Structure 1
Amino acid sequence: MTATLYIGNRNYSSWSLRGWLLVRLSGLEFQDQTIPLFTPDTKAQVLAVSPSGMVPCLHHGRVVTWDSMAIAEYLHEQFPQAGIWPRDPVQRAHARSISAEMHSGFADLRRAMPMDIHASKRGGTQSPEVQSNLRRIEQIWTDCRTRFGAGGEFLFGAWSGADCMYAPVVMRLHSNGVQMNVTTQQYVAAVRAQKDTAEWIAAARSDPWVIDWEAAARAGVAPVAQRK
């Protein structure tokens, strides 16, 4: 069966990064197709391939799966040996729980630090809400690395779906120069060096679209992508 993953701009689309890493981890052969986000034509183009009007969306033969968590579960069903979730039931439940928490939470962090992989921002005072999000992320990562991470550099030792779900947070922390504990800093470095993530980061450099998040925020308007 042929497989196509529809994604948004590599430099900015955090959910696309999650979906793309998950498909790579599964071992499924696929092609990706980018739909530029934050343009006047975005909604119509995405709706043509994704019922939710959002990316990522995976087309695998006759099966259409959208939303990163749904994609993770579909791939786990199709490729149970790929390591989307840990084999140990305790670890697997924990991995799913922290992934779901990422999926539904951390809204303040998302708003304050939109993913912009090749931005370089240093300093800045974070709101109490963002600080609370950061403390929780640090707690999750430190706990996983301490309890389950002995077999490798990632949350459950080996690279897994949970790491894919948190990869965009790694990008946010790195581009914003957020200082956290040693375990967290080591994890950030490991995720960025992971081969699939590193490939995505390199490809993001050639993203032809630019978004000025700060200008949009100052003007109180929705961000608009412009060609470089």
Structure 2
Amino acid sequence: MTQAKGAKGKSATLTISSKTYSAWSLRGWLMCQLAGLEVTEKVVPNDASNRAELLLLSPSVLVPRLTFDGASVWDTLAIAEFLNEEFPEAGLFPKDRIARAHCRSIAGEIHSGFTNLRSALPMNLKVRHESFPVFSGARPDIERVEAIWTDCLDRYGGPFLFGAEPTVADAMYAPVTTRFVSYAVAVSEPCAEYCRTIAAWAPMKAWIAAAKAEPEEMEELEVEF
């Protein structure tokens, strides 16, 4: 990873949880990769015994949490906007004003919605089902994700959602691609190809490899999605 201009000599720490199960940790980490920001990872299992430590780290009790150059930022969208301000040349958002607004909108949609999809298909990078009974309530969420991806791929030409290079939108939807693969969710060929694009993205490959190396005894998270 090329270090971001302006980051030289400044330490950054990203507090995350399980790489196997924590979708939000993945999103925050991918955003740091997009920014070119080298981070020291602090892994805190999100269980009751660590709740007090997490409270000290972040009033929201959630991960990821980025500390950099005197700032402490949690919540994935807040991290995205902070990194965009710190490293505007990194291209976290599209250059075009209309595309940038579109990117923010679909990133916000995955941030605040898709509850049924999250609960029915929790992220687990160590499983691969050949078939899986998907809760019917999750179907509208899956269809909406497909509609978002199809629209973006058609409009901006792929292979990422906003064209040739990944953006915040790809970081936000990356965990969804893993869910579709893990649970054998049938999607259209363009959407399946997008899942393959994300799986082949170098930062994603590095995260998945690290997840597979995590101890098997790590408890599955119930609140990370």
Q: What's the TM-score, normalizing by structure 2? A: 0.90
2:63 is paired with a residue whose SS is coil
Unaligned runs of 5+ in 2: 1-9
Aligned to 1:217: none
2:212 maps to 205
**2:33 corresponds to which of 21, 24, 28:** 24
Corresponding residue for residue 35 of structure 1: 44
In the TM superposition, what whole-angstrom CA distance separates every residue of 1:32-74 from its partner, at most 9, and x where no partner exists?
111112x331212212222211100001121000000000000
Alpha-carbon distance, 1:212 to partner: 6.0
Alignment of 1:135-214 (within 5 A): 135-148=143-156, 150=157, 152-157=158-163, 158-208=165-215, 209-211=217-219
Alignment partners' CA distance in 2, 1:125 and 1:49? 38
SS in 2 for 1:4: strand
- Other-structure match for 1:120: 128
State the alpha-carbon separation in 2 of the partners of residues 185 and 203 from structure 1.
23
Please give the residue correspondences for 1:209-220 in structure 2 after superposition, counting only pairs within 5 Å: 209-211=217-219
Shift of 1:206: 1.2
Looking at structure 1, the residues matched to 50 and 117 of structure 2 have their Cα atoms a distance apart, in angstroms, of 24
Check conservation: 2:132, 2:184, Cα contact below 8 A.
no
Question: Quick one: distance in 1 between partners of 2:220 and 2:107?
Answer: 29
Task: Report matched runs for 1:20-99 at 5 Å.
Answer: 20-37=29-46, 39-99=47-107
Cα RMSD, aligned residues only: 1.5
TM-superposed CA distance for 1:2, in Å, is 1.3
Q: State, as a whole percentage, how many aligned pairs show the same letter.
A: 41
Letter in 1 for 2:44: I
Instruction: Note if contact 2:131-2:183 (Cα within 8 Å) is conserved in structure 1.
Output: yes
User: Following the alignment from structure 1 to structure 2, what is the Cα–Cα distance between the partners of residues 23 and 182?
Assistant: 30
Shift in CA distance, 124/29, structure 1 to aligned 2, threshold 3 Å: closer
Mapped to 1, the partners of 2:20 and 2:153 lie a distance apart of 27
Q: Which amino acid aligns with 1:84?
A: L
Q: 1:216 corresponds to which residue?
A: none
SS of structure 1 residue aligned to 2:13: strand
Q: Could you tell me which residue of structure 1 aligns to residue 4 of structure 2?
A: none
Task: Evaluate the alpha carbon distance shift between residue 183 and residue 114 of structure 1 in structure 2; reply closer, same or farther with a 3 A threshold.
Answer: same
Equivalence for 2:108: 100
Q: Which runs of 5+ in 1 are unaligned?
A: 214-221, 224-228
What corresponds to 1:5 in structure 2?
A: 14
> SS where residue 133 of structure 1 aligns?
helix
Instruction: Map Cα deviations across residues 179-221 of structure 1 (whole Å, 9 max, x no partner).
Output: 10000000000001100011000000111244468xxxxxxxx
